[in-house]
């Protein structure tokens, strides 16, 4: 074959194959867009009452920066006879050794009963377990430094399953 000559038979595509490829590309683009719209990220608000076997809780605006000067309270309720197991998946709040400025308090029960912990900075506690079927989360922020907030998951478990559930969360978390 002379120099500079392109061997068209190896590179040519028939018009039918070309149309099929274009149609396939547009179809793929359309399906990608539909899937993206149907799997949009949830919108997290400031507090609320949450009931069910399991769920996800995030600070207001997560994963964006949480607003200043807020106090948000979430009340989790799982079915009677079960306990709440809460696991933080992400936490980014203003850091302070005593958690005085921006923090998340976690309480067993809804009436600020036993405090299970106060968390700030990027410290990720282990699974937190309520003594009954209710748990309260309260996030407080001041006027200054802010972060991305928090993302946590909760699930219901029978009281005697707590150890097994905690172990499962450690393996899958």
Domain limits for position 108: 48-172
Give domain status of residue 3, yes or no: no
In this prediction, residues 74-98 reach a mean pLDDT of 97
Domain count of the fold of the chain: 2
Q: How many CB atoms lie within 10 A of CB 68?
A: 12
Phi, psi dihedrals of residue 32, rounded to the nearest 5°: -60, -45
Q: Is 50's pLDDT higher than 70?
A: yes
For residue 6, the Cα-to-chain-centroid distance in whole angstroms is 55
Give the model's confidence band at 31: pLDDT under 50 very low, under 70 low, under 90 confident, else very high.
Answer: very low
Indicate whether 92 and 133 sit together in one domain.
yes
Q: Is 78's pLDDT higher than 50?
A: yes
Indicate whether 24 and 78 sit together in one domain.
no
Give domain status of residue 166, yes or no: yes
Indicate whether 74 and 21 sit together in one domain.
no
Give domain status of residue 6, yes or no: no
Provide the residue count of the chain. 173
pLDDT tens for residues 126-170?
999 999 999 999 999 999 988 999 999 999 999 876 554 444 444
Give the model's confidence band at 7: pLDDT under 50 very low, under 70 low, under 90 confident, else very high.
Answer: very low
Indicate whether 105 and 26 sit together in one domain.
no
pLDDT tens for residues 113-126?
799 999 999 999 99
* Residue with the larger pLDDT of the pair 116 and 173: 116
Task: Give me 89's structure tokens.
Answer: 């998946």
The per-residue pLDDT for 43 is: 86
Indicate whether 121 and 56 sit together in one domain.
yes
CATH of the domain at 123: 2.60.120.290
The per-residue pLDDT for 59 is: 97
Quote the CA–CA distance of 129 and 145 in Å, as a whole number. 30
Give domain status of residue 128, yes or no: yes
Mean pLDDT of the chain: 80
Indicate whether 110 and 88 sit together in one domain.
yes
* Residue with the larger pLDDT of the pair 168 and 31: 168
Quote the CA–CA distance of 54 and 95 in Å, as a whole number. 29
């Amino acid at each position: 074959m002379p120099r500079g000559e392109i061997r068209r038979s190896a590179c040519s595509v028939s018009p039918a194959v070309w149309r099929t490829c274009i149609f396939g590309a547009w179809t793929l683009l359309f399906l990608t867009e539909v899937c993206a719209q149907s799997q949009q990220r949830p919108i997290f608000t400031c507090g609320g009452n949450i009931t069910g076997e399991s769920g996800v809780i995030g600070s207001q605006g997560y994963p964006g920066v949480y607003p200043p000067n807020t106090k948000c309270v979430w009340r989790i309720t799982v079915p009677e006879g079960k306990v709440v197991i809460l696991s933080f998946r992400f936490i980014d709040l203003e850091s302070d050794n005593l958690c005085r400025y921006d923090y998340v308090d976690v309480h067993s029960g809804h009436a600020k009963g036993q405090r299970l912990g106060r968390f700030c900075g990027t410290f990720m506690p282990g699974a937190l377990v309520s003594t009954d079927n209710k748990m309260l989360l309260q996030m407080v922020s001041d006027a200054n430094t802010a972060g991305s907030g928090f993302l946590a998951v909760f699930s219901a478990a029978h009281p005697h399953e707590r150890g097994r559930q905690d172990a499962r969360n450690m393996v899958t978390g």
